[in-house]
Amino acid sequence: MSASLIYLVLPLVLLCVGLPIYLILLITSLAAILFVADVPTTALQTYLFGSLDSFPLLAIPFFIYAGEIMGRGGIARRVMAWVSSLTGNSRGSMGVTTIVTSELFGAMSHTAIGTVAAVGRLALPVLRDAGYHDRFSIGLIASSGAVAVVIPPSISLILYSMSAQQSAVALFTAGIIPSILLGVVCALYVVAVSPKNKTGAAASFNFARFWIATKEAGWALGTPVVIFGGIYGGIFSPTEAAGAAVLYSIFITMFIYNDITWRDLWAITMSSTFLIAQILVIVAAAGVYAWLLTTSGIPQQIIAFITDLHLSLWEILLIVNLGLLIIGSFLEPPAAIIILTPLLLPIVQSAGVDPIHFGIIMAVNLSIGMYTPPFGLNLFASQAIFNKPLSLIYRGVLPFLVINFVTLMIISYIPWLSLGLLGQGAAR
């Protein structure tokens, strides 16, 4: 049986059947071991558990747990009030407030769906009052929440650092400018269309109001300071920073803001456990599949094929970006990163793309995939949260898909945006 038939065609067939992604990867891996890979069947469980035997991987459950605590502890509400006190009644202010709040909360929660849920419930009524229609508002919320895939300390960047054997701290640094650029471009679009939507705002900027909001949100806004200050100050590693984020989030939500009780914390812990288990099962299954795919020789065959085509760098990046956008609309970012990094990284490296830069390109692609029809996860999350038809949500995200695709192209073809803070990356 052909190796490409098992590794590439079988997963697509199983996906069309409707099987969950972890089961697709496990069935494909087992079929590969039985029919094409010259390895014993015991390799399945060996690499299944071996994929989880990683110290950096511990950051993922910690960050998820911290994000769940902050999501239910009123952090998003305080951050949104603080941002609103800054934007005042400027044109498109409530739309811009939603974007900035999503960026800040995404840096705290590290999950796109969690950001959509926490910020969206607060933002939609305010956006309605400001004159935005639901189609635009939900499209804005679904697309803004996806920035959590890119903005450091992103779970996706942690997984890429493991798969590509790159520094997580370097990837966090590289993700700062691109994640801000995504928010700025969306904010400019919101401001540009705000007259059409007849959008107003709350009160104009008032320093007293801003100071009150700052005092109220000060502890919440300290979360990124604790995480990044600890990492870049050399106090702890990204994994230890995740643990510190958990302790800090418990401290401020329980003892500073008194928003959750011990009973609430136990409920959050249980729900976080289920979410963590879902992600780690996918990571384990994807690790087995990625190992088998890498050792199959298929990546080398693809590199040879592309080399024979004599494509230029911009053509290779365009093809890779389009492929990632399509795949990202079907696969969760953790699975996509672990599966595709061993396949695509050698291809782009052979064309001269820096692996850190490619990590950011991949993260931006997968963030856009989170709200790309028909199967982007943020779309279904928005449907469940706001109880609106998918057809309305699809139309709402289309403008943001277009402008963020343009931003993706800018990030892809100007390496400095990712590598500038690392002291490298001239434009190609």
pLDDT digits (tens, 9 = 90+) for 99-124: 998 888 888 877 787 788 888 888 88
3-state SS class at 84 = helix
- pLDDT for position 38: 79
Q: Is residue 427 pLDDT above 70, yes or no?
A: no
Distance of CA 415 to the CA centre of its chain: 20
Residue with tokens 């970012």: 333
Q: What radius of gyration do the chain's Cα atoms show?
A: 22
pLDDT digits (tens, 9 = 90+) for 389-421: 888 999 999 999 999 999 999 999 999 999 999
- pLDDT for position 205: 64
* Tokens at 149, concatenated: 């895939």
SS (H, E, C) 9-74: HHHHHHHHHCCCHHHHHHHHHHHHHHHCCCCCCHHHHHHHHHCCCCCHHHHHHHHHHHHHHHHHCC
pLDDT digits (tens, 9 = 90+) for 212-264: 888 888 888 888 888 888 888 888 888 888 889 899 999 999 988 888 899 99
Rounded Cα–Cα distance for residues 218 and 201 (Å): 23
Rounded Cα–Cα distance for residues 103 and 147 (Å): 6
pTM: 0.86
